[in-house]
Amino acid sequence: MSLVNKSAPIFRATAVVDAEKIVQDFSLTQFLGKKEVLFFFYPKDFSLICPTEMLAFQDRIEDFEKRNVALVACSTDSEEVHLAWLNTQNDRGGIWGVEYPLVADFSKTIADSFGILGGNYSHDSKGKLIFEGDCMPLRATFLIDKEGIIRHESVNHFQIARNIDDYLRIIDVWQHSQKSEEICPANWVLGEDTFENSKDGLTDYLSTH
């Protein structure tokens, strides 16, 4: 079930902030009315693909900040593992230099509430609760607006890494749509032509492209 146009699940959890501080009561509600949030899950600290994504997001953090979007990451590792990963040099598989918060979903309740664990809970023949599949997050990404509503979601298999430009473009489309009555066509990027929200506007656009 898609969460788009629904309120983002509310949680309070431990997180590592500013690459060094462990915060016990971290919540996305702190951004309500102030910033949009790109909240993304990744499978596992100290893995192979995840450091490339974490560092790629950090490399573009100024692009998110100038759009007034906060980056927040989450996995089911503990805050101690997050902190160790943040303090490990990049050539050793670490993510030294990452500044945005890392939420510790050790209980897996946050990933479960967003519906992006890599498997499913079920019961065995004796009625015991079990988990079938990979009990860690898929590569899921959610754009949450200032009112706490999810406006975009994407979910990738563990092996499919994200492209940061994709999310910047999605943010641009969303933000442009909120401050303009114009529509952004397919493959639109900031600075390109849009068209009026009408059949005539579409006709005029198509006639020149």
Lookup result for tokens 């809970």: 121
Cβ atoms within 10 Å, residue 196: 14
Query: DSSP for 142-199?
Result: EEE-TTSBEEEEEEE-TT----HHHHHHHHHHHHHHHH-SEE--TT--TTS--EESSH
Amino acid present at 11 = F
Catalytic positions, please?
Answer: 50
Distances 173 to 2, 29, 123, 143, 177 between C-alpha atoms, Å: 20, 24, 43, 12, 6
